[in-house]
Each structure stands twice: as structure tokens, then as C-alpha cells.
Amino acid sequence: MKLTFNDLSFRYKTHTILQAVSLEVPKGSLTAITGPSGEGKSTLLSIVNHLWRPDEGARVSGDAMARFDSGVINLLSPHLDLPSLRRKAAMVFQNPVPLPFSIFKNVALPLAFAGIRKKEEVHRRVERALIRSGLWNEVKDRLHDRAALLSGGQQQRLALARALVTDPEILLLDEPTSSLDATSREHIEAQLLTLKTHCTLLLVSHSEAQVERLSDRIYQLKAGNLKRMR
């Protein structure tokens, strides 16, 4: 998977959030975007999985292409198959948002959305996603407990498993450790490093130390301009 943005601009009503941004994310890398809060880092991520809403006063121009195994997709096309795109470009948010279901159902839900219903297949994929997110050993005996009972760090790894369960080609990470303690953050960071072999990672973080530790490429977003730092 390769992601390429060329001269990408994003305006929200009268505010310019991204100004002629160019970015290249190679396959199998961890690319980080850092910078001060409120500068448009999350907006940049939302363009990849099309979570921005064109009818809410947002205007976007330029080129944004994603090369998936199945072919090249123009991310700015108005005719995108959004559910399919979002399964290929999964996202982990700053807050884990555990749904009020069991741990198992939380992870299995994206498979139901994808139309995967075979019990054995669902169980196999849920187990693999929980192993990849580093949560399996802690929850394997209580998969049917409520997800809300997990600790903050565990909930974030649950969100990571939920994103990984559909085997995405790109994983979008929006400040995934900013609300966690040091131990939980280390847990997540360790998992992210192992995930590079399975998919491409695009991380947004305001912690310069974290992006230094984890990233192959680092970009800084400031006042709408993106600058490559490493």
C-alpha cells in the first residue's frame, strides 16, 4: 500500500486547514505527522478514510491517491465505496470508544459489517486481531465480559484489535496513546512496531519523543504547511 498526497488543500468554510500539502507514505512503513494541536493533523487522517463530510462546509482540492492491493483509489472521488475503503484504511482514535457490547462482539462487529458470518472464520480473525493488539492473554478467558469493564489501556488495545480484524492495508492512528499512562503507552507502542510487517501505519501524535522512537518518516504540520523532518 502506498499513499500519495499532492498539493492537497483543505478549507473549512473560510478557514484554510491544509495548504498545498504533499505527502508520501511507503508500504510497510510507520510515517508520523507531528505538530501543535488544532493544526489539521486529524483532518489529514480523515481524508484517507473519508470521515470528513463534504456537505458540512468542508472543501478539498488537489490529489490524494491510495494504491491498495486491489488497485488505485482516488480518495477525493465523490463515488467512493466508503465501507470498503474504511475496511482497507482502518482507524484508531484518541479515545477508544468501547461499544456497550462484549469484548468479543466489539472486535467481531467490523466483520459483521463486511458480511463475514461463518462462526469459525469470525472466531479465528477475532483471536488473531487480539493477539496482534497484545490483548489476547488478558481477555481470552472473559471474551463475553462487557468491554467497558476493561482498563483504559486495555480498551485502547481493544480498539486496535477492532481496527485490525478486517486486515486493513493501512492503519490510521490518531493520537492513540495521548490519554494513557506510561505503561499502557509502552504496551501500545510495542504492538505498533510489530504491526509494520502486516500493514502501513500513519500516526498522528503531538509527542515528538514518541514519533522519534517509532517512525521511519516524520512530517511536521504547522499553520497548514507540511514539512518533512526525517
Q: What grid cell was written down for 230?
A: 526525517
CA 109 to each of CA 86, 87, 116, 130, 148: distance values in angstroms, whole numbers, following the listed order: 14, 12, 10, 14, 16
Q: What is the C-alpha separation between 38 and 9, in angstroms, rounded?
A: 16
- Contact stretch for other proteins (CB under 8 A) within 12-20, 94-102, 126-134, 212-220: 94-102
Q: Does residue 156 interact with other proteins by CB under 8 A?
A: no
Q: What is the C-alpha separation between 52 and 163, in angstroms, rounded?
A: 18
Buried b (16+ CB within 10 A) or exposed e, 81-116: eeeebbbbbbbbbbebebeeebbbbbbbebbeeeee
Q: Does residue 93 interact with other proteins by CB under 8 A?
A: yes
CA 129 to each of CA 65, 187, 195: distance values in angstroms, whole numbers, following the listed order: 27, 15, 11
Please give the single-letter amino acid code of residue 173.
Answer: L
Q: What grid cell was written down for 138?
A: 488478558
Q: Does residue 180 interact with other proteins by CB under 8 A?
A: no
- Contact stretch for other proteins (CB under 8 A) within 28-36, 67-75, 158-166, 175-183: 158-166
Q: Does residue 112 interact with other proteins by CB under 8 A?
A: yes
Nearer to other proteins, 49 or 220 (CB): 49
Out of 124, 144, 227, 228, name the contact with other proteins by CB under 8 A. Answer: 144
Out of 41, 86, 132, 157, name the contact with other proteins by CB under 8 A. Answer: 86
- Within the chain, strands assigned E span 2-12, 15-25, 30-34, 58-68, 71-74, 89-92, 170-174, 200-204, 217-222, 225-228
The count of chain residues that interact with other proteins, using the rule CB under 8 A, is 30
Q: Does residue 217 interact with other proteins by CB under 8 A?
A: no
- Shortest Å distance, C-beta 110 to other proteins: 4
Nearer to other proteins, 21 or 159 (CB): 159
Considering only residues 14 to 73 of the shown chain, the ones binding other proteins according to CB under 8 A are: 49, 51
Nearer to other proteins, 89 or 218 (CB): 89
Nearer to other proteins, 60 or 147 (CB): 147
Q: Does residue 212 interact with other proteins by CB under 8 A?
A: no
Q: Does residue 114 interact with other proteins by CB under 8 A?
A: yes
Footprint of other proteins on this chain (CB under 8 A)? 49, 51, 82-87, 90-91, 93, 95, 97, 99-102, 109-110, 112-114, 144-146, 148, 159, 162-163, 166
